[in-house]
Amino acid sequence: METKKNHTLVVTGASWGDEGKGKIVDLLASGAEIVVRFQGGNNAGHTVVVKGKKYKFHLLPSGAIQNKTIVIGNGLVIDPKVLFEELNMLKKEGFNPNLKISENAHIIFPFHNLIDGLEEEEKGNYAAGTTMRGIGPTYCDKMSRFGIRVYDLLDEKIFRSKFEKIFELKRKMYKTLVNTDKEWDLDKEEIIKRYLDHGNKMKQYVINTAFYLNQAIDEGKVILFEGAQGALLGIDHGMYPFGTSSVTWSGGVCAGTGVGPTRIDKLIGVIKAYTSRVGGGPLPTELNDNIAHQIREQGHEYGTTTGRPRRVGWIDLFSLKYAVMINHYDSLAITLLDALAGVDPVKLCVGYNYNGESLKTWPIQSEIIEKCIPEYIEMPGWKNLPPEEWSRIAKKGYNALPDKIKDYVDKIEEILGTELAIISIGPNRSDTIIKKSIW
């Protein structure tokens, strides 16, 4: 193994999620001993392809298929059913990751999913188009200090006492939220029994992960922190209210794991050759024509979690510049350049025009963004190639890339002012060019 100069590495998506982080994390995880998630829940969808076989994760860190130690930090919200489904799937496939779960992560209950759907209906135009996994309502309870944490599930007395209160509150909320005569049909005792059972099964994995991770850093262990969603979907710096409820940018690592900012060595952002997003909200570079269809099919742009077709558009370097600014990434990885092949010319959005003026910085406010007209530059596109050809190029390295791709990469580097260290031109782990070593 190469000697590590950096011991803690953070990988986050720089836009609206689905940047191909799963693959990049999987690639970098081979150099790590511990892979950690720090935010979100099973709203995430990470696809990793190894030797032609696809593995899909929603909750567990992608390092799971490398039998690493994997950690679910305190910043997550956990649906225990999904947790055990993924663990069972891994066991069946012959993987045996060493899992640690934070005692302070919050638990998703059936009423969270129910309320997620009802609130979305009430929001009308402001609906984010959530994954309906109960993510927002669970974070909401966390912040209002009504939530139930992993630790609570391990003690029947504590759990019952907290759960009975929250259950009653949610029942009242349900009655005020629902416009129908539908009855609240959740069975309190059944849920208590089921979740105590989950707690019992979880016990073996539960520790103080902040202590564990800080100790691991003291011992010089190599740790990779894996983001879910993307910077522009985050609760603070994303397009509010059309995003998710967790802290998705690199700063979320500290809050979501208990590892301090000075202990983080390197930050990598993942971008893709074009833009995509699922759910509501303005998307200035969105395409709705044949090119959109072509990109969607070539990039398999359908949600890993919901199966929804993703909205696609030209790369939005103006919003990415904002993401690069807040994260202050050391370097970037770009994915899916092969999926943009055959589109000629390609456009790159380098600014937004609002009310006849070019904006200085990306405006977070969705009301402004929806009125912005993207400012584009155009570049020649590159030819489509059969998958084996992309793999052959990846093996040969950066110099073997078609010149037009190199020009595209150079232009992105120039505009974002950050190096593209990893270039991905196919779904497999091996279809990747490391232009500059990350560790």
| Active site amino acids | 18, 46
Q: Which is nearer to ligand IMP, 31 or 303 (CB)?
A: 303
Cβ-count burial 25-49 (b if 16+ within 10 Å, e if not): bbbbbebbbbbbbbbbbbbbbbbbb
Q: Are 15 and 271 in contact (CB under 8 A)?
A: yes
Pairing mode, strands 223-226 and 8-13: parallel
Closest CA to 24 of 54, 46, 43, 40: 46
Q: Are 298 and 274 in contact (CB under 8 A)?
A: no
Q: Which is nearer to ligand IMP, 144 or 399 (CB)?
A: 144
Least distance from C-beta 218 to ligand IMP, angstroms?
32
Least distance from C-beta 4 to ligand IMP, angstroms?
29
Contact footprint for ligand IMP (CB under 6 A): 16-18, 43-45, 128-131, 133, 135-136, 228-229, 233, 243-245, 278-279
Q: Are 225 and 8 in contact (CB under 8 A)?
A: yes
Q: Which is nearer to ligand IMP, 45 or 374 (CB)?
A: 45
Least distance from C-beta 208 to ligand IMP, angstroms?
27
Least distance from C-beta 179 to ligand IMP, angstroms?
21
Q: Are 80 and 195 in contact (CB under 8 A)?
A: yes
Closest residue to ligand IMP, based on beta-carbon distance: 279
Q: Which is nearer to ligand IMP, 137 or 351 (CB)?
A: 137
> What tokens does 80 get?
């225990």
SS (H, E, C) 284-327: CCECCCHHHHHHHHHCCCECCCCCCECEEECEEHHHHHHHHHHH
Kindly list the distances between the CA atom of residue 239 and the CA atoms of 61, 242, 261, in Å, as whole numbers in the listed order.
25, 6, 25
Cis? peptide before 345, omega within 30° of 0: yes
Question: How many angstroms from the chain centroid is the CA of residue 139?
Answer: 16
Closest CA to 277 of 296, 294, 249, 290: 296
Least distance from C-beta 228 to ligand IMP, angstroms?
6
Q: Which is nearer to ligand IMP, 109 or 382 (CB)?
A: 109
CA triple 161-164-170, angle to 5 deg: 140
Residue 170 three-state SS: helix
Least distance from C-beta 277 to ligand IMP, angstroms?
6
Tell me 183's DSSP state: -
Q: Are 379 and 345 in contact (CB under 8 A)?
A: yes
Least distance from C-beta 132 to ligand IMP, angstroms?
7
Q: Which is nearer to ligand IMP, 69 or 245 (CB)?
A: 245
Q: Which is nearer to ligand IMP, 246 or 428 (CB)?
A: 246
- Residue 211 to residue 73: CA distance in whole angstroms: 11
Residue 110 three-state SS: helix
